[in-house]
Amino acid sequence: MNYRILGKTGLEVSEIGFGGEWLERHEESESIELLKYANAKGINIVDCWMPDPKSRDIIGKAMEGSRDKWYVQGHIGSTYQNGQYVRSRDMKFVRPAFEDLLMRLRTDYIDLGMIHYIDSVEEWNMVMNSEYIKYVHALHEEGAIRHIGLSTHNPVIGKLAVETGFIEMILFSINPAFDMRPATEDLYSMFEGYDEDNLSGIDSERVRFYQMCEENNVGLTVMKGFFGGALLDKERSPFGVAFTPVQLIHYALTRPGVSSILCGYDTKEQIDQAVHYEEASDDEKDYASVIANAPLHSYNGICTYCGHCKPCPVDIDIAMVNKLYDLATAQSSIPQSIAEHYKALGVTASKCIGCKGCESRCPFGVHIADRMKKAAELFGF
């Protein structure tokens, strides 16, 4: 298993994580064993947004005796009322729900205390001026949550979260289908009227959001990486083609700022399929060819950092140069952190000999040689 630093939290999280929402569908002993198996495979981050007692008990029992081997994303405002999940900011529900989370997880702290699920600007403004946010800060100050995070599906909210300075990481929905759609306050309306005529490459709001996370060292963990399984099924995929779990994991992990993708599992075999990513070949990880050959997509001319351009005869890491160039050009001046990352590459864009062999391999027709020239001019070497 490979590990990445989760932004300014400093936590070293597994690239493959555990999304816990399916745990309650199984016998308790089976789900406990599933979590223990995942941890034995190197998975060390789990998301617990679920308010139901069964799921929380399962995670608590699975972590018993090994709490220090797990990082928990625990959500503040996910409540259980009359046997149903209710997202709430009402402190008469929020406080006991969080206390219940600690009790059932058999712990006295949550690593990542998540401001639970904000998708609208109206709700953002309400939450940021409420007793709820004061409670979040109080939990942080007393150590009941070690770091403050937020979950959202809307890049507009994500950008606002980055700008607060106190939100250290974000749980965000990332997959190649979502990336082509504009920001929305209603996730479930995202693909209404979806067709080739209303696509325009990766949505600019999402591009800017990823850039801001990278620039401000706000870590990203990923939810909905498989689009609820729709992207694994040709008939349900918005692209009209099916992806593999490894391809979708690779897509998420190549976005700027991303540290971990949290997958849902029903079986040990599904955990094995996800963890296989760490030893998968470049061909197995290749999501770009799938997108390029899909009947519906609009990625032409856009670098997705897929790495198809390799190998370079002078050993330029073309995908990383393109990523850093995109991050740098989003600002009026080059952020120092981006400049340092570029310098650390060793072989920079100025070494490009203009052979254009990379362009013959690019699935999306990116003019790579021109971009290398522009990158060299921008960074100065």
Q: Are 7 and 213 in contact (CB under 8 A)?
A: yes
Place of tokens 């083609």: 241
Phi, psi of 241 (to 5 degrees): -140, 160
pLDDT for 86: 86
DSSP string, 288-340: HHHHHTSSS---TT------TTPPPTT---HHHHHHHHHHHHTSSS--HHHHH
pLDDT for 275: 96
Burial class (CB in 10 A: 0-12, 13-18, 19+), 142: exposed
pTM of the shown model: 0.79
CATH pick for 3-288 out of 3.20.20.100, 3.40.190.10, 2.160.20.10, 3.40.50.720: 3.20.20.100
Which residue from 174, 203, 176, 198 is spatially nearest to 292, judged by alpha carbons?
Answer: 176
Q: Are 49 and 88 in contact (CB under 8 A)?
A: no
- Pairing verdict, β 71-76 and 45-48: parallel
pLDDT for 297: 54
Q: What's the rounded Cα separation, in Å, for the pair 253 and 247?
A: 10
The structure tokens listed for 182 are 């504009």
Number of Cβ within 10 Å of residue 329's Cβ equals: 14
Per-residue pLDDT for the chain (381 aa), expressed as one digit of tens each? 999 999 999 999 999 999 988 888 789 999 999 999 999 999 999 999 999 999 999 999 999 999 999 999 999 999 999 988 888 999 999 999 999 999 999 999 999 999 999 988 999 999 999 999 999 999 999 999 999 999 998 999 999 999 999 999 999 989 888 887 666 656 555 445 444 444 446 778 888 899 899 989 999 999 989 887 878 888 777 777 899 999 999 999 999 899 999 998 889 999 999 999 999 999 999 988 888 877 655 566 777 777 778 889 999 999 889 888 877 876 678 877 778 878 888 899 999 999 998 988 887 778 999 999 999 999 999
Residue 211 Rama label (left phi>0; alpha psi -120 to 50; beta)? alpha
Q: Are 175 and 149 in contact (CB under 8 A)?
A: no
Q: What's the rounded Cα separation, in Å, for the pair 175 and 188?
A: 15
Q: Which residues lie closer than 8 Å to 228 by C-beta, 6 or more apart?
A: none
Q: Are 63 and 44 in contact (CB under 8 A)?
A: no
261 beta partners: 16, 222
C-alpha dihedral sign at 67, 68, 73, 74: positive
Q: What's the rounded Cα separation, in Å, for the pair 184 and 201?
A: 16
Helix (H, G, I), strand (E, B), or coil: what is residue 17? strand
Which residue from 179, 202, 205, 201 is spatially nearest to 190, judged by alpha carbons?
Answer: 179
Q: Would you list the domain boundaries of the chain? A: 3-288, 318-379
pLDDT for 320: 86
